Structure 1
Amino acid sequence: MTTHVSMLTATDARSHIHLIVGSNPLAAARCGQSLSAGASPILLVPETAELHYALQKRIDDGEVKWIKEAFRDEHLFTLGREEIDHVVDAVFVTSGPREPLSAHISTVCKRNRIPVNVVDAPQLCTFSLLSTHVDGPLQIGITTNGRGCKLASRIRREVAASLPPNLGSAFLRLGDVRRRIQEEDHLLHMALADGDDVDDSVDQLASFNKLVTEADIDAAKNRRMRWLGQICEYWPLKRLAAITDADVSNILQSYSDLSSSPSPPSSLNSATNNNSNNTPSPPPKRGRIILAGSGPGHPDLLTRATHKAIRAADLVLADKLVPAGVLDLVPRRTPVRIARKFPGNADAAQAELHEMAVQAAREGKTVLRLKQGDPYVYGRGGEEVEFFRGHGFGLAGDRNLGAEGGGEGSVVVLPGVTSALSAPLFAGIPSTQRDVADQVLICTGTGKKGKAPVPPEYVRSRTVVFLMALHRVGGLVAELTGYMDSEIRDETGENREKEVGEAKKRVLWPRNTPCAVIERASCPDQRVIRTTLDRVVEAVEQEGSRPPGLLVVGAACEFLNKLDKGQAWRVEEGFRGLDFVGDGLDLGE
């Protein structure tokens, strides 16, 4: 099977005119991307079209120009910049490939060599948008050439998560070094004349590691540039990310002050586990089921008891949200089964794991039922213990079922670090803070079978953590800031809306209450969206969702991290809070 590859380019779109055809959420996203690149988006839809609210807001704010007309071919040649005869620079069609207009616009654009992008229709596009990570001047783009957009997004996140923080700042400093060297030594002309590498789209030339000596007159003229290139190639990324002004000064003053013999970093050897001395004993007549929490995500946040259970289990039954870093700790010899949970199959998947656990335990095996967070904090741990008890496996110490001391035929429950308390910490949110928050409430955002639970009332000094809420964040915000239908109707179904204000049954949350969405807490691709209740729905819709995640609401959210004036929300990517583990700190392993 053959496939094509695209020529990836970076376009300087400043001052460009982008034509956006469509009025849906994707059109709003395209306008945002266009603005971020410095272009001027023009929205082309009839006046009768129903605009997405984010589009309407950008229009009202003067960021997007709205031409209230249906598409005509002449729009392509009249709405652009004067310096290119009013031809638009690019066209984005957001209505999809099934609309006849999409194919027509594509044909006209191709005929006139106008770049065009049609959503979900690679065959109609002359260019595609990459899944990008941006850190200052650093941009990393991933494309699958139309074969798997969601996978491209995941790869982009994992690539970004593997990079050290502040790498973008390092590029700013190193770029300044390069510019100053070029100015001082006239190296730009020299580089073009002697073929030195000035293109970052190709690998280094064969002469890259050639020793620079004073005797080499040509090399002496550009020695600092060559040493700068070798610093970029061989310094560890963490070291580059931490480059200082003093380092910059040293590079500029003398290349010889730096390492005189750079060499490629050696490969890291993967640690292997040698269990040759741990010969497993014959299985007991009746096995054991261990119900354990894997914590919020980072493997270093496992309890020692759970880590021992992972190493000793004969079978691991894991929830689908248990992160890969934790599952990597399972010995290769141990089979792992992941819950096959998806919408509409949650109960069946749970039952399947239950049956597998009971069957294996009856065969004398030690079964580890590995759950995310803590088993008893919205982890359905109690239900599982009840099920196992009904099949003859009592909770450790449950004497009436012969499970004394956690021995044969027992269920042992091990705690885990719950994300409800650890995720705010990793996001820089003190759940309790003197004079700000004196209580923490942990709630679910979704009740049984998807039913909306009764929302908590507003208490100024309260921090509320909502688990399992982001998929219905719009409904949750509406419930927090307004009365539910069940609250304004009495038992007979009669409307009592006017009486609600007088009764003051529940204090509503102010819409400007600070809040934060925390996703994949403690994992390398952790993301925090800081905003307020009145903007969180828009933020999640525009930024997308990255489960598992939770919502934190309350004044504590802004105690250490205030938004800038006029800022609707701020997105923070990545987690490096446990990088010190293993770097010389003895934690008693």
Structure 2
Amino acid sequence: MDYFPLFCRLQGKRCLLVGAGDVAERKARLLLDAGADLHVGALDFSPAFQQWAQQGKVTLLQGTFTEAWLEACWLVIAATNDDAVNQRVGDAAEARRIFCNLVDAPQEASAIMPSIVDRSPLMIAVSSGGRAPVLARLLREKLEAMLPQHLGELAALAGSLRSRVKRTFASMAQRRAFWERFFASDRLAQTLANGDRPRAEHIINTLFDAPPSQRGEVVLVGAGPGDAGLLTLKGLQCIQQADVVVYDRLVSEPILNLVRRDAERIFVGKQAGHHCVPQAQINQLLLEQAQSGKRVVRLKGGDPFIFGRGGEELEILAQHNIAFSVVPGITAASGCAAYSGIPLTHRDHAQSVRFVTGHLQQHGEIEWDKLAAEQQTLVFYMGLNQAADIQQRLLQHGMDAAMPVAIVQHGTTPQQRVETATLAQLETLARQFVSPALIIVGRVVTLRDRLRWF
């Protein structure tokens, strides 16, 4: 280990920054965020430093570096564009036993400035010891993307509860179990993100008071249309925290590979005309798993609230006072259309878009006269087996037989297949496809030849 990682409290402590250019500005912002009593020495100062000085945030020392600037300093950063000046600052700091960071010369420095992920009070520092700063930055960017912004607030809240947890739970095992539930509670995290403190207090009290049989929760997660890259960041975080993942046929294998390795996976796949597991049984399964105290993710293709029956599943959980939350997903209509080069709306062709279930006989009468209107896009989910009926109804209600249509199969995946035709040809075209497939009807389909990229 070339450098000992250490977090220092700099509030009110004098720190010296030599240099006042762009690089120095970045260092200054970090020191100011840490509450340092910042002194900046340079021949000339950028507008940012001049503004900070006017606001009383920094003290400017104009001129060439002198050792007098080091008086009473706790930390020094040399960030000029002159290597000789930087080295002179480093040597002077070394003689006085003051830690010094030398920009662009980390091998000569006694201190390294890491790449920082700031979720105060939670702090993560990444350093390559100055050997690969770009790699450290890329790792920091990955961590920034993975860690939600409210994580610091969650950590601060945890700190305020430590004494209460110690009083409430006698054993270390009980405390550890509480903290696992606390940090894995998606409802609590979302409530904090929304700034709803009263509801957060209610959720915390529930975590303290609820018996083990009621401490499970269910998160309904939209997996998107297939491409694992379209899974939302929050969805990824949820499936990596789950004890149990209940998934259906439309969830792609690359997304399942992102599930925590030790999580239990339960397949409840359904397809048109054949339900592997009845919906009532799925509802009961979610209920039983949550009642046993597990963190359950119900992983659904697309978005769970768009023809995904997510609302039905949550109604059962609500009836039994099971904690639940929802993470929306990119719906199949949006993902498949985008990957096919078909905008769902367009100023010249469609001012609205309608999502329609293809299970026409099961969900009451559809207002076909409104669906057949111009200047809109229709997207039929699960409509492949009903293509003949869709074609007939739209034609009967006045839609142009030459209206462009497209069918997208295995949308957003490497196996994606897209074919276009006219409404008069829809029934014939549909016979060439197998589920899962989406039917898009509208003049926006004509834009595919110009906008396709997948």
Superposed CA deviations along residues 81-130 of structure 1, whole A, max 9, x for unmatched, are xxxxxxxxxxxxxxxxxxxxxxxxxxxxxxxxxxxxxxxxxxxxxxxxxx
Is 1:446–1:452's contact at 8 Å kept on the other side of the alignment? no
**1:310 pairs with 2:223:** no
For 1:345 and 1:515, the matched residues in 2 are separated by 27
Shift of 1:357: 1.5
Match of 1:549, as an amino acid? A
Residue equivalent to 1:211: none
Is 2:249–2:271's contact at 8 Å kept on the other side of the alignment? no
Q: Which secondary structure state, in structure 2, belongs to the residue aligned with residue 312 of structure 1? A: coil
Q: 2:419 aligns with which of 529, 535, 557?
A: 529
CA distance 1:343–1:437, change in 2 (3 Å) = closer
Shift of 1:424: 1.0
Higher relative contact order (CA 8 A, sep 6+): 2
Query: Unpaired runs of 5+ in structure 1?
Result: 1-278, 394-409, 483-506, 563-571, 578-589
Is 2:220–2:300's contact at 8 Å kept on the other side of the alignment? yes
Shift of 1:471: 1.2
Q: Which secondary structure state, in structure 2, belongs to the residue aligned with residue 534 of structure 1? A: helix
Task: Looking at secondary structure, tell me which structure has more strand per residue.
Answer: 2
Q: How does 1:129-528 map to 2 (within 5 A)?
A: 281-282=176-177, 284=181, 285=212, 286-341=215-270, 346=275, 349-393=278-322, 410-447=323-360, 449=362, 453-455=366-368, 456-482=370-396, 507-528=397-418
For 2:243 and 2:283, the matched residues in 1 are separated by 16
Identity across matched positions, percent? 31
CA distance 1:330–1:520, change in 2 (3 Å) = same
Shift of 1:561: 2.2
CA distance 1:512–1:281, change in 2 (3 Å) = farther
Is 1:292–1:414's contact at 8 Å kept on the other side of the alignment? yes
Task: Looking at secondary structure, tell me which structure has more helix per residue.
Answer: 2
Match of 2:395, as an amino acid? T
Question: Normalising to structure 2: TM-score of the pair?
Answer: 0.51
Is 2:304–2:328's contact at 8 Å kept on the other side of the alignment? yes
Q: How does 1:14-25 map to 2 (within 5 A)?
A: none
Say how many residue pairs are matched.
245
Match of 1:550, as an amino acid? L
Shift of 1:295: 0.5
Match of 1:474, as an amino acid? A
Is 2:360–2:386's contact at 8 Å kept on the other side of the alignment? no
CA distance 1:515–1:342, change in 2 (3 Å) = closer
Query: Unpaired runs of 5+ in structure 2?
Result: 1-172, 182-211
Is 1:515–1:533's contact at 8 Å kept on the other side of the alignment? yes
**1:546 pairs with 2:434:** yes
Q: Which secondary structure state, in structure 2, belongs to the residue aligned with residue 434 of structure 1? A: coil
Is 2:247–2:298's contact at 8 Å kept on the other side of the alignment? yes
Question: Normalising to structure 1: TM-score of the pair?
Answer: 0.39
Is 2:225–2:336's contact at 8 Å kept on the other side of the alignment? yes
For 2:287 and 2:440, the matched residues in 1 are separated by 37
CA distance 1:362–1:536, change in 2 (3 Å) = same
RMSD value, Cα: 2.4
CA distance 1:460–1:341, change in 2 (3 Å) = closer
CA distance 1:436–1:330, change in 2 (3 Å) = same
Shift of 1:425: 1.2
Q: Which secondary structure state, in structure 1, belongs to the residue aligned with residue 334 of structure 2? A: helix
Q: Which secondary structure state, in structure 1, belongs to the residue aligned with residue 380 of structure 2? A: strand
